């Protein structure tokens, strides 16, 4: 028994030594090493770990939603309406007799869907605009950056409202409106990163080997821009979730009966005085998740992007 335990700990030691070796044998090892060293420093930050815990829980809850609930969160049960929190209904029931706990669980999926949609729209637009501007320079750079600056100085929430008015209320449209108004900081970031690596020798080497501009952008410059944009996205995610919830609250985002937390607050608002749990609990859910993203982003920034520590 002790031998086996020793063997396991030996294996662990080997992996650790391999991950911390001074002379990585190949690119994969080097990559894993960087992640591991980053993780070691991330692990020492309890606040960031709390953020990670919240986000991982959110993802797990969203994945296993069918296993930890009895219904799909939209079926009504009018006999049970507005029940206070009990053992049967942990968070009580809403005005249509739906269990609020179950709706919160299903709402985790909606929240993750928003996070995913915004990321896949905002990151590519920002990266492409910023990297193109940085790599080509000259009038391309000037034009693209002017457009970016213009978008940067727009009032975002108001424009998102106006965009939703055009596109019509709905979750996807709300996300689209948020994305249209929030890609510009990423373009700025990507441009700055591109400028710092553009003159590097490895880019020149790739050029001499005949790599096309697209190839240089995609496989040599983009990886260098990713970490700072991911940090920024994580930090922005709280704001994005709050805006999406706000649009949902105004009735411009997710539409009933979808279990979106902002919309749940809006419909629960009428019951605030006598059935406080109906609007209060979705609000706590939003608070916890956006706090999770803020804490995680704060910690990630310290690990991945120490230069910009604390600033904006």
Partner 1 sequence: MTLVNQGTPFVTSLIRVLSKIFSMLIMVAMTFLGLFIVTFVIGRVMPTDPVIAIVGDRASDEIYQEMFLKLGLDKPLWEQFIIFLGNILQGDFGYSVMTSQPVIEDIKRFFPATLELALVATIGGVILGIPSGVLAAVNQGKLIDHSVRILGLIGNSIPIFWLGMVALLVFYAKLDWVPGPGRIDFYYDGIVEQVTGIIMLDAALAGEWDVFNNALGHIILPAIMLTIYSLAYISRMTRSFMLDQLNQEYVLTARVKGLSELGVVWGHAFRNVLVQLITVIGLTFASLLEGAVLTETIFAWPGIGQYITNSLFNADMNAVIGGTLVVGISFVGINLISDLLYRLVDPRAK
Query: Residue 24: which of 10, 39, 35, 8 has the closest Cα?
Result: 35
Output 295 or 300, the one with its CB closest to partner 1.
Answer: 295
Among 64, 86, 149, 213, binds partner 1 (CB under 8 A): 149
Cα dihedral sign, 63-66-68-71: positive
Establish if 116 lies at the interface with partner 1 (CB under 8 A): no
The count of chain residues that interact with partner 1, using the rule CB under 8 A, is: 51
Output 135 or 264, the one with its CB closest to partner 1.
Answer: 264
| Location of structure tokens 């920002």 | 126
Count CB atoms within 10 A of the CB of residue 172.
Answer: 14
Q: How far is CA 249 from the centre of its chain?
A: 20
Beta carbons of 231 and 296 less than 8 angstroms apart: no
Binding mask 44-83 for partner 1 (x = CB under 8 A): ---x------------------------------------
Smallest gap from Cβ 291 to partner 1, in A, equals 4
Query: Residue 124: which of 172, 173, 183 has the closest Cα?
Result: 183
Among 138, 199, 210, 311, binds partner 1 (CB under 8 A): 311
| Measured distance CA(176)–CA(247) in Å, rounded | 12
Interacting residues with partner 1 between 248 and 307 (CB under 8 A)? 249-252, 262, 265, 269, 272-273, 276, 279-280, 282-283, 286-287, 290-291, 293-295, 298
Establish if 112 lies at the interface with partner 1 (CB under 8 A): no
Beta carbons of 111 and 175 less than 8 angstroms apart: no
| Measured distance CA(109)–CA(97) in Å, rounded | 21
Beta carbons of 286 and 198 less than 8 angstroms apart: no
Q: Residue 299, CB half-sphere, CA atoms under 13 Å: how many?
A: 21
Smallest gap from Cβ 265 to partner 1, in A, equals 5
Smallest gap from Cβ 86 to partner 1, in A, equals 22
Smallest gap from Cβ 57 to partner 1, in A, equals 16
| Measured distance CA(54)–CA(303) in Å, rounded | 19
Q: Kindly indicate which of the ranges 3-11, 142-150, 188-196, 215-223 contains the residues binding partner 1, using the contact rule CB under 8 A.
A: 142-150
Which residues contribute to the site for partner 1 (CB under 8 A)?
Answer: 47, 146-147, 149-151, 153-159, 161-166, 168, 238-239, 242, 245-246, 249-252, 262, 265, 269, 272-273, 276, 279-280, 282-283, 286-287, 290-291, 293-295, 298, 309-312
């Amino acid at each position: 028994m002790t031998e086996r335990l020793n063997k396991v700990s030996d294996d662990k030691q080997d992996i650790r030594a391999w991950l911390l070796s001074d002379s990585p044998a190949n690119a994969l090892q080097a990559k894993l090493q960087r992640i591991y060293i980053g993780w070691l420093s991330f692990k020492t930050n309890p606040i960031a770990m709390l953020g990670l815990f919240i986000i991982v829980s959110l993802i797990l809850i969203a994945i296993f939603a069918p296993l930890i609930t009895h219904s799909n969160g939209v079926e009504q049960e009018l006999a049970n309406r507005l029940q206070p929190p009990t053992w049967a209904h942990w968070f009580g029931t809403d005005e249509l007799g739906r269990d609020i706990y179950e709706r919160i669980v299903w709402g985790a999926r909606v929240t993750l869907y928003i996070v995913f949609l915004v990321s896949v729209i905002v990151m590519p637009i920002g990266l492409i605009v910023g990297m193109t501007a940085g790599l080509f320079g000259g009038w391309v750079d000037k034009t693209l950056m002017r457009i970016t600056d213009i978008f940067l100085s727009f009032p975002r929430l108001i424009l998102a409202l106006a965009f939703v008015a055009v596109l019509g209320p709905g979750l996807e449209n709300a996300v689209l409106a948020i994305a249209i108004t929030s890609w510009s900081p990423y373009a700025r970031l990507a441009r700055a990163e591109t400028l710092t690596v553009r003159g590097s020798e490895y880019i020149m080497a790739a050029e001499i080997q005949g790599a096309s501009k697209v190839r240089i952008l995609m496989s040599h410059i983009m990886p260098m821009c990713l970490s700072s944009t991911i940090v920024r996205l994580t930090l922005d995610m709280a704001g994005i979730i709050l805006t999406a919830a706000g649009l949902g609250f105004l009735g411009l985002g997710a539409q009933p009966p979808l279990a979106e937390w902002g919309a749940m607050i809006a419909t629960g608002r009428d019951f605030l005085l006598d059935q406080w749990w109906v609007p209060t609990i979705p609000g706590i859910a939003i608070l916890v998740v956006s706090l999770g993203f803020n804490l995680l982003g704060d910690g990630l920034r310290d690990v991945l992007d120490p230069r910009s520590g604390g600033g904006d």
